[in-house]
Amino acid sequence: MNPTAISVKNLDLYYGEKQALKNIHVDIDERSVTALIGPSGCGKSTFLRTLNRMNDLIPNVRIEGQILIKDTDIYSDEVDVEMLRKRVGMVFQAPNPFPKSIYENVAYGPRIHGLNDKKKLDEIVERSLRGAALWDEVKDRLKDRATGLSGGQQQRLCIARALAVEPDILLMDEPTSALDPISTLKVEELVQELKKNYTIVIVTHNMQQAARISDKTAFFLNGDLIEYNDTDKLFSNPDHQQTEEYITGRFG
């Protein structure tokens, strides 16, 4: 059994008056893939954003409860948000490369954290692009604009960019929803590969995808965490009626 990477306790989140997450308890294992599923608006993205405090950017958000990463509560005062986000990387739903070169996109993270050594940057760029299974496709045009890549390549570039800051945890919010089946497959294979070194939490609307790539699955409904279980168990023999109804497509 892997040790725990993230431990969420009694988590409540409010957007103004509206409660979007209700008393969430989850322990996420190191070096595993955890899938978050549930109907639109149930709070998957909201939950994901609590893990790297991207919710801080939204006005009028109130958060109660605890999220422990390496035994520190990430919402306590002594935690440095920038350091937290360096450790907990994020890949967004729509690919969002900077309008800079491919190289500069990947080097962006290391640079903002103070690395300027050209040789080390070269190394990191290559390693990250290889890690994101993109190196062979772009190695001859690192100076080209990233926005000229295909959607699938852009998304893998965004993954490479996230890897370049060497996080421990990688959050992915529907990373394949804007991609074609082949690019999707590539990203899925990549997730399997990355799992060896990273803890991955991934939101997906695609139940087959969740079943294919995750070790554990969390099913959300209206801000409640209904069921959190081994993926095999959850999809074959869920503990809860509502989970059963959702995965068999009876609602949502």
Partner 1 sequence: MAAEELMSKHKTALNHERAFDEERKIASRVKQRRGRNRLAHGLFFLATLVGVLVLAVLLFDIFQRGWSYVTADFMNNFASRFPSRAGIKGALWGSIWLIAITAPLTFIIGVGAAIYLEEYAKKGWISTLIQVNISNLAGVPSIVFGMLGLTIFVQILALKKSVLAGGLTLTLLILPVVIVAAREAIASVPNSLRHASLAMGATRWQTIQKVVLPYALPGIMTGTILALSRAIGETAPLIMVGAATFLAFTPGSVFDEFSALPIQIYNWVAQPKEEFSNLAAAGIIVLLVILLTMNGLAIFLRNKFQR
Ligand X SMILES: Nc1ncnc2c1ncn2[C@@H]1O[C@H](COP(=O)(O)OP(=O)(O)OP(=O)(O)O)[C@@H](O)[C@H]1O
Binding site for ligand X (CB under 6 A): 15, 20, 38, 40-46, 58
For residues 42 and 211, which CB has a smaller minimum distance to ligand X in the complex?
Answer: 42
Question: Cα(208)–Cα(129) distance, rounded to whole angstroms?
Answer: 27
User: Phi and psi (nearest 5°) for 32?
Assistant: -140, 165
Interaction partner, residue 184 (Mg ion, ligand X, partner 1, none; CB < 5-8 Å by kind): none
Shortest CB 67 distance to ligand X, Å:
16
* DSSP labels, 206-237: -HHHHHHH-SEEEEEETTEEEEEEEHHHHHHS
Given the complex with Mg ion, which of 45 and 209 has the nearer CB atom?
45
Provide the binding-site residues for partner 1, judged by CB under 8 A. 52, 54, 57, 59, 82-86, 89-90, 92, 94, 96-100, 108-109, 112-113, 147, 158, 161-162, 165
* 45 makes contact with Mg ion (CB under 5 A): yes
> Which stretch, 5-13, 37-45, 116-124, 190-198, contacts Mg ion (CB under 5 A)?
37-45
Partner from ligand X, partner 1, Mg ion, none contacting 179, C-beta within 5 to 8 A by type: none
CB of 156 to partner 1, least distance (A): 14
Q: Closer to Mg ion by CB, 45 or 199: give it.
A: 45
Beta-carbon contacts of residue 16 (< 8 Å; ≥ 6 apart)? 60
Q: Which does 83 bind (CB under 5 to 8 A by kind): Mg ion, ligand X, partner 1, none?
A: partner 1
Positive/negative CA dihedral, 182, 145, 103, 94? negative
Give the sign of the dihedral formed by CA 71, CA 74, CA 77, CA 81: positive
14 binds, among Mg ion, partner 1, ligand X, none (CB under 5 to 8 A by kind): none
Distance of CA 158 to the CA centre of its chain: 12
Considering beta carbons, is residue 10 or 83 the nearer one to partner 1?
A: 83
| Inter-residue long-range contacts of 248-252, CB under 8 Å, 24+ positions, other chains counted | 251/39, 252/38, 252/39, 252/40
The 10 Å Cβ neighbour count of residue 194 is: 21
What span, in angstroms and rounded, lies between the C-alpha atoms of 88 and 53?
A: 9
Question: Residue 20: which of Mg ion, ligand X, partner 1, none does it interact with, CB under 5 to 8 A by kind?
Answer: ligand X
Residue type, 215: D
Tally of CB atoms within 10 A around 12: 15
Q: How far is the CB of 220 from Mg ion (least distance, A)?
A: 10
Residue 41 interface partner, choices Mg ion, ligand X, partner 1, none, CB cut-off 5-8 Å depending on type = ligand X
Minimum gap (Å) between residue 138 Cβ and partner 1: 18
Chain contacts with Mg ion (rule: CB under 5 A): 45
